[in-house]
Chains A and B, each alone.
Chain A
Amino acid sequence: DTAVSQTPKYLVTQMGNDKSIKCEQNLGHDTMYWYKQDSKKFLKIMFSYNNKELIINETVPNRFSPKSPDKAHLNLHINSLELGDSAVYFCASSQGWGGGEQFFGPGTRLTVL
């Protein structure tokens, strides 16, 4: 059984378009995260939600908007895509928000042309 799943796995789109990435976890965790991994493999947190409440919001352009309809889902919507948004986006989850293992999804490779 997949613990943290993301869709789609690959996303190729034109500059200026709007796209969404979906994430679901079946681990019963109450905290979820979005990370961005750039072409140099650098991994940086973007957002974190605990029980549907935003608790971490890094310096991310407001074109990125996370949405958590329930604690098992955390989606990422990106408006007006730019070339620099090309990266691999990882969703992760953990039990509690104070620490402990984060379980990562398989990633979504976004390519903006």
Chain B
Amino acid sequence: GENVEQHPSTLSVQEGDSAVIKCTYSDSASNYFPWYKQELGKGPQLIIDIRSNVGEKKDQRIAVTLNKTAKHFSLHITETQPEDSAVYFCAASVWGGAQKLVFGQGTRLTINP
């Protein structure tokens, strides 16, 4: 089955700097890669996703890149703000099948003012 590895487990950056979180996946059949943000005491919330027919996707300050050959994808957050502090999860699944999202271990991102 699918296995998703996420790094780093914790990340601390200065406000205004960029943050990058990386994930690798094992199942070459996976073709849908969402990123979720979880704030303290809340459920995860989708912030951006990408399908395997696209190499990069951007939404304002966040972007995701996908390298299918290497089976890895990354989340990039630019101009970080204190409200970006949260736990971020990557996930992988097969689009079109019963959507079984396999999550990475999570990255606790702290933005220092």
Task: Please report A residues at the B interface, Cβ cutoff 8 Å.
Answer: 4, 31, 40-45, 48, 50, 55-56, 90, 92, 94, 97-107
Contacts and interface: CB of A to CB of B under 8 A. Distances in A.
Contacts of B108: 41
Given A42-B105, A45-B101, A107-B41, 8 more contacts: A43-B103, A43-B106, A98-B95, A98-B96, A98-B97, A99-B32, A99-B95, A101-B34
B44 A100 contact: no
A98 B43 contact: no
14 contacts: A4-B43, A31-B99, A40-B105, A41-B105, A41-B106, A41-B108, A43-B89, A45-B101, A45-B102, A48-B98, A99-B95, A101-B34, A104-B44, A104-B45
Given A42-B103, A42-B106, A43-B89, A90 B44 contact: yes
Nearest to B32: A99
Q: Shortest 8 CB-CB distances between A and B: which pairs?
A: A104-B43, A99-B95, A43-B103, A55-B98, A101-B46, A41-B106, A98-B96, A104-B44
What band does the interface of chain B fall in when counting residues whose beta carbon is under 8 Å from A? 20 to 34
B16 to A, nearest CB: 27
B2 to A, nearest CB: 11
Interface string B84-111: 0001010001011111111101101000
A113 B93 CA distance: 35
B98 A50 contact: yes
A107 B105 contact: no
Interface of B: 32, 34, 36, 38, 41-46, 49, 87, 89, 93, 95-103, 105-106, 108
Which one of B38, B44, B106 has the highest number of Cβ atoms from chain A below 10 Å of its Cβ? B44
B100 A48 contact: yes
Given A41-B105, A42-B105, A101-B49, A94 B99 contact: yes
A43 B98 CA distance: 18
Contacts of A105: 43
